[in-house]
Amino acid sequence: MLSARGVTRRSFMKLCGAVAAAAGLSQLAAPQIAQALEKSVIGATKGKLYPVIWIEGASCTGCTESFAQVETPDPASVVLELISLNYSETLSAAAGWSMEEAKEQTIEAGNYILVYEGAVLEGWDGQALRVADKPGTEHLIEAAEKANAVVALGSCAVNGGWMGAHPNSSGALGVQQFLEKAGIDVDVINIPGCPANPEWLVSVLVDVIMLEKLPPLTNEGKPEGIFGQTIHDNCERRGHFENGEFVYQFGSEEEAKGYCLYPLGCRGPQTKSNCGVTLWNNRRSWCVQAGSPCIGCCEAAPHDPGHNWVEVNTPFYKRHRDLRIGDWMVQPGTIALGITGILAAALVVHGFGMKITGRMDGGADFEKVRAWDKNHPGKAIGKYDLTRDEAKAACEKSSHNANAKAVESDEEEGR
């Protein structure tokens, strides 16, 4: 099958090595992956490939574009051809009625994977997104009920993405949260990103097909091998971060030296993903290597549409996110400057008040001799330039205090 498609054995082994890396495995696992793929997919005895239904929710089709526009024979391209893509509104050659029929037949036969791209829209009873004369929510329920697994592809599918940002008038939310509310019991694998890296989907599909089980998942339902560490953990600029070498302005000498982009709003320390390991565009580069701070597009809490990467991370090139107070948004730095201004104004008003009331005119009387030195003339530690009368008065006061204490002590002994 591969030879007929112009794929050599060497290219196929390169594919298996790339899939191993995408799945977080050692390159030594490539032969086992090759054997499993040949047995379960390429050499399938049933005469058909593993069926996949790919539904577009509310999306820009960015994840489809990411998956499709890769060089052959890259993992995404080869596996896409080896998998029977029975339904895809973006990539299918068929259209209209014939396409919907293919989806119905696939659902009826069962044993398929559902890939859902884009946000689920609950607004206006699901009519916010209407496809083939039915609400988009109904399409998802029908396809998810019999699926072996559901892959929520991209941040929009994980928790509504940028469409879930305030005020979220369309009621956008993620696939997992919607299916749980609808009472559909099915395994959901969340692959965030805007768009998602195609190799992440490849690794999940191979896991399900090859091992017939889900990959290890985090508590948010994301593949642990991909989203178990922060971008900062594997960033090529981390050494500069540890050395305190940062870029504070684009076009500066520090930027030319490849210093850390944290002050320019890089969200790498708070975003979990292996972008710096898998890379993009046939492993050529990735955002930070290309000179852009990470904007945290993989941040997506499946059960909280409000925790979408746009609302959490904007403005992208500022160190702090905006704080929302009702419909009002403000930067923490602006709040700090405002408080500083209020305190400064209060001090000025206080100063004028002191002046008006005359409390600043005379000033306070200060002791010419420390109280300790006055009370302990033999142990005085200060040196004073006093007049004769001042010194005499200080000594008389000290003697008087000493005599008073002596009398008090004698009286105590007598009692």
CA distance 9 to 206: 18
Structure tokens at 154: 């991209």
> Could you give the CA distance from residue 190 to residue 302 in angstroms, rounded to a whole number?
8
CA distance 151 to 360: 74
Q: How many CA atoms lie within 13 A of 281 on its CB side?
A: 6
Q: Give the CA dihedral 301, 305, 307, 311, nearest 10 degrees.
A: 140
User: 399: burial class by Cβ within 10 Å (0-12, 13-18, 19+)?
Assistant: exposed
CB 208 within 8 A of CB 148: yes
298 is in an annotated binding site: no
275 assigned to a ligand binding site = yes
CB atoms near residue 373 (< 10 Å): 17
287 is in an annotated binding site: no
Query: How far apart are alpha carbons 159 and 175 in whole angstroms?
Result: 7
The reply, when asked if residue 16 is annotated as ligand binding, is: no
Give CA–CA dist 381/372, Å, rounded.
9
d(CA 102, CA 106): 6
Q: Which of 190, 124, 184, 181 is nearest to 151 (CA)?
A: 190
Task: List phi, psi (to 5°) of 298.
Answer: -90, 0
Report which residue type is found at 79.
V
Per the rule left: phi > 0, alpha: psi between -120 and 50, beta: everything else, 79 is alpha
Does 260 count as an annotated binding residue? yes
Question: How far apart are alpha carbons 88 and 52 in whole angstroms?
Answer: 9
Q: Which DSSP string corresponds to 355-368? A: HHTTTTTS-----S
Question: In the structure encoding, which two tokens stand for residue 334, read together?
Answer: 């602006």
Q: Which amino acid is at 27?
A: Q
- Is 232 known as a binding-site position? yes
Angle between helices 9-22 and 198-206 (to 10 degrees): 100
Picking from 214, 264, 262, 265, the residue whose alpha carbon sits closest to that of residue 240 is 262
Find out whether 266 is annotated in a ligand binding site. Answer: yes
Binding-site residues for [3Fe-4S] cluster, please? 275, 294, 297
Binding-site residues, please? 60, 63, 156, 194, 232, 235, 260, 266, 275, 294, 297
Binding-site residues for [4Fe-4S] cluster, please? 60, 63, 156, 194, 232, 235, 260, 266
